A and B are shown apart, each in its own frame.
Chain A
Amino acid sequence: MRRLLGAASPQSLRLMALFLALLGTILFFSTQIDGYLSARMFNRISTSAAVILPVAVGQAIVIMTRNIDLSVGSILGVVAYVTGQTLAALPELHPVLVVALAMGIGAVAGAINGVLVAWGRVPSIIVTLGTLALFRSFLVEYSDATTITTASLPAWLVDLPQKSLVSVGPLDIRVTVVLALAACLVVGVGLSRLRAARRFLAVGSNPDAARMAGINAPAVVFLAFVLSGALAGLSGFIFLAKFGNITVVAGLGFELKSIAAVVVGGVSIMGGSGTMLGVLMGTVLVDTIDNSLTRWELVSEFWRDALLGMLIMAAVTLDTLAARSLARLRGKAGGST
């Protein structure tokens, strides 16, 4: 066992632990909630995780570069509203163009963050704390406190959340879920296979070293924020399709939800490490717990946030302690040889 622990990389151990935690959570709730292991529950959790997954992927890229993006919730709200409004005016717009529009608006918002952080050299937490308020107040002014309603949206969009792309046995994989997974997959493969994408990790793990290695660090950070904005835009599109009714508070609090998913997924908040598989599992784990607690009869739904907070804390604490004792174990093994 010890040799096994010593042989596997910390990152793959973390992924295994996450997978076991996810499995344990699902098994536990299947004994607690009637009809838990059903296609309905699968749909409920997968479509709800699909809204948060793209934001989380974007947030992960930004956090890997040792920055943070607190404005994603506001970007999501702006994108959902503007896209919905555009669709109400131009219902003939091709779906692919709609997704492109949503991601485009998000990318522009992300570019504003990126310029300020990368070349204005304003710390990302300050920039995005500011744009969190700015983008939201833009939405309030722009919308004049009116609401986008399902009735004003074209039928294909309203039906989209119920549409399945493929069915695996009794399980339907919704189109929105495929969209979110595709975003996660593209970024994940890019990060592990593309040399250019590795720069996000290089800049995050040691900005000075990255610069000396000839990496244009500001450009990399800028790109991270643009991607984060674009992915928040994708989430905005999925949000619009899922809920249909968009008010000025759409996406409120998504910045914290996305950070929670990313951190549980094992991306270091200090930058420089993390995997998209981890982000995917982190997102699904947090969302599974969230969705299951609301249906658990043993505790009232008011316990949801309290338990969620404690579980996230427990996950992170275990991860930290395990990583430390693993490092100690390694240190000893290294010393004896």
Chain B
Amino acid sequence: MTLTSPPDFRAHSVPPAPPIKRATWEWYIPIYFWLGGISAGSWIAAAAEDLTGGRNRRLIGTARWLSLGTLLGGTALLIADLGRPERFHHMLRIVRARSAMSLGSWGLTAYGGVAGLAAMLQAGEAGWLGRRAALARLSRGGAGRAVHVAGLPLAAFVGSYTGVLLASTSTPSWEARAGWLGPLFLSSALSSGIAAVALAADLGPGLGPRARRRLARAEAVALAAELALLAQAGRASRPLPSERRARPKLGAARALVALAGMALPLGLAIARGAGRKRRGRRRQQNHALHLAGATLALGGSLALRYLVTHEGYRSADTPEDTWRITSGGDGAPGRRPVRGPQAVEPVLADGRLSAPA
């Protein structure tokens, strides 16, 4: 007697309920992922500008405000999504190393602290706390740089942990590319953060060509990494049944995000970052390209979050994805050989049934 083959649920007119549950987040949670990423990315931009000697105060100031603002906005969304928002502070009852959500809560809190500090320095620099030169010096000097350095790992964490958080679930599509989601989200955080800074800083009087080029070059680096990581994450697992079934729509969406949200702004960023001397019309055009590229990068980053989230939901609703991911053979690293019940014999060869010692 043998075990029957895995059921083909499409044969039933009413399939069984999915074996796992999808996350029941509100629609705006991917926006939080995006905002948190912008916050982290703009922090890195501020720190890089500060540490590499560019010292464009307009750029740094914009980035500092952006990182705090998007962080607060994102956190508000997070709290709104809770089933019991008034209990948001329960997140800080414990620390749990195996809970990405717990780590994320603490990371957000700590990052919120440095972001707040930086914003205070920036407020001092802007003279909102009284016209005291000392405050501005602190902000521009070592203290500002120290805060930036201290915030770097936290920003990197905030920019990437959301990907790890998705990966640390039983959702097949996320689990299948577990190691790649954190880096992917981080690269997207950086690209969106830089793009946001570029956009915001350029809304008023211009940043100046050099600062723009700096941003464009960093943007290019981030977008290149994002593209590469997206491709890598896509290759990390064989297409899941839900993905195979969703082709070509899903493929088109992915291609659109990769092209319009990453490749196109990458091209624009390279174009902007490469040129040293521009004049007149060219400069006007360059500015327009600059804004267009940043907008596309921001949109691409948001679209990426929705795409990844949506793919996760779909795969959670597709039983075969779970069968695939939990029955070995998907080439995921660290899998031990399949020793499943497929091999059950009524009685073992020696006629007895031995239990392992």
A and B: real partners?
A: no
